[in-house]
C-alpha cells in the first residue's frame, strides 16, 4: 500500500507554475496552410484536438477515491491542474484550426474507444491509458511540426511536446509507485498488458495518421521504432 507518493509537492509546484503558460503563444504568424498541407493534416489534427479535450470527470472521481484511501489531497489538486493543461492543448489546436478553416470533430471512434477503456476500471488503468496516448503524442507532434511550414503550428507542437514530456514523467512516477505494490506475477501481467495496449494504440495511430507521419519525415518503421524507444525510456 502507498502511504505517500514521492515528490508530489514538487509536481504541484510545477503544475501551478506552468498553469496557463502554453496559451502564451504569439499568434502573429500570418502563414496559412497551403492547400496541400491542409489536405494532409486537417483530418489528423482534428482527431488529436478531440483527443486532447476532456472534462476529466471519471479521472477526478477515480482520483478522489484514491486520495481518500491514501489520505493524499495533493494528488487531487495536481489532477485538476493536469486536466486543465490538456484542455489548453485542445484550445490552442482549435484556435489554429479555426484560423485555417479546419472543422473540428464532435466524436470519433478511436477517441470513443480510448475514453471507454479509461472508464472501465480505476485510477491505475486511467493513468495507463493516458500515458500510452501521451508517449505516442510526443512523436506525432514532432511529425506534425515537420509536416508544415507554419511557424505558428510548429510553435504549438513544440509547446505541447514540452508539456507532454512532463506529463509522461509524472504519470510514469505514479504507475511505478502503484505497480511496486503488486505481487510479482500480477505486476508482470499488468506490464505485459500495458505493452499490448501500447502496441495496438501505436498501430492505430500509424494507420490513421500515416499521411502526416510520412510528410513529417518519418517512415512507418522509424515512427514505430521511435515510439518504442520513448516507451522504454520511461518503462525500462
All domains of the chain in start order, with CATH: 35-234 (1.20.1260)
For residues 164 and 133, give the distance between their C-alpha atoms in angstroms, rounded to a whole number: 10
For residues 108 and 77, give the distance between their C-alpha atoms in angstroms, rounded to a whole number: 30
Least confident span in 28-32, 124-128, 153-157: 28-32
Q: How far is CA 165 from the centre of its chain?
A: 9
pTM: 0.90
DSSP characters over 60-80: HHHHHHHHHHHT-SHHHHHHH
Measured CA distances, 226 to 12, 48, 231 (Å): 30, 19, 9
Of residues 202, 198, 195, 196, the one with CA closest to residue 222: 202
* Mean confidence (pLDDT) of the chain: 88
> Greater confidence, 65 or 149?
149
162 band by pLDDT with thresholds 50, 70 and 90: very high
Cell numbers 489538486 correspond to 77
Cell numbers 518503421 correspond to 221
72 band by pLDDT with thresholds 50, 70 and 90: confident
Which letter does DSSP use for residue 106 in this model? S
Amino acid at each position: 500500500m502507498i502511504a505517500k507518493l514521492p515528490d508530489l509537492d514538487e509536481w504541484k509546484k510545477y503544475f501551478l507554475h506552468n498553469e496557463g503558460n502554453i496559451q502564451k503563444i504569439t499568434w502573429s504568424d500570418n502563414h496559412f496552410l497551403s492547400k496541400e498541407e491542409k489536405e494532409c493534416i486537417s483530418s489528423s489534427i482534428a482527431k488529436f484536438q478531440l483527443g486532447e479535450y476532456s472534462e476529466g470527470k471519471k479521472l477526478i472521481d477515480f482520483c478522489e477515491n484514491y486520495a481518500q484511501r491514501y489520505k493524499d489531497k495533493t494528488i487531487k489538486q495536481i489532477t485538476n491542474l493536469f486536466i486543465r493543461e490538456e484542455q489548453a492543448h485542445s484550445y490552442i489546436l482549435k484556435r489554429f484550426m479555426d484560423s485555417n478553416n479546419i472543422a473540428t470533430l464532435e466524436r470519433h471512434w478511436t477517441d470513443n474507444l480510448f475514453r471507454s477503456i479509461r472508464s472501465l476500471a480505476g485510477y491505475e488503468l486511467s493513468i495507463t491509458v493516458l500515458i500510452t496516448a501521451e508517449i505516442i503524442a510526443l512523436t506525432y507532434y514532432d511529425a506534425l511540426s515537420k509536416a508544415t511550414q507554419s511557424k505558428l503550428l510548429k510553435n504549438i507542437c513544440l509547446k505541447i511536446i514540452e508539456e507532454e514530456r512532463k506529463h509522461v514523467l509524472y504519470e510514469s512516477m505514479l504507475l511505478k509507485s502503484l505497480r511496486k505494490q503488486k505481487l510479482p506475477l500480477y505486476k508482470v501481467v499488468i506490464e505485459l498488458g500495458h505493452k499490448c495496449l501500447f502496441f495496438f494504440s501505436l498501430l492505430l495511430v500509424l494507420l490513421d495518421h500515416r499521411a502526416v507521419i510520412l510528410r513529417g519525415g518519418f517512415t512507418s518503421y522509424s515512427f514505430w521504432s521511435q515510439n518504442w524507444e520513448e516507451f522504454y525510456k520511461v518503462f525500462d
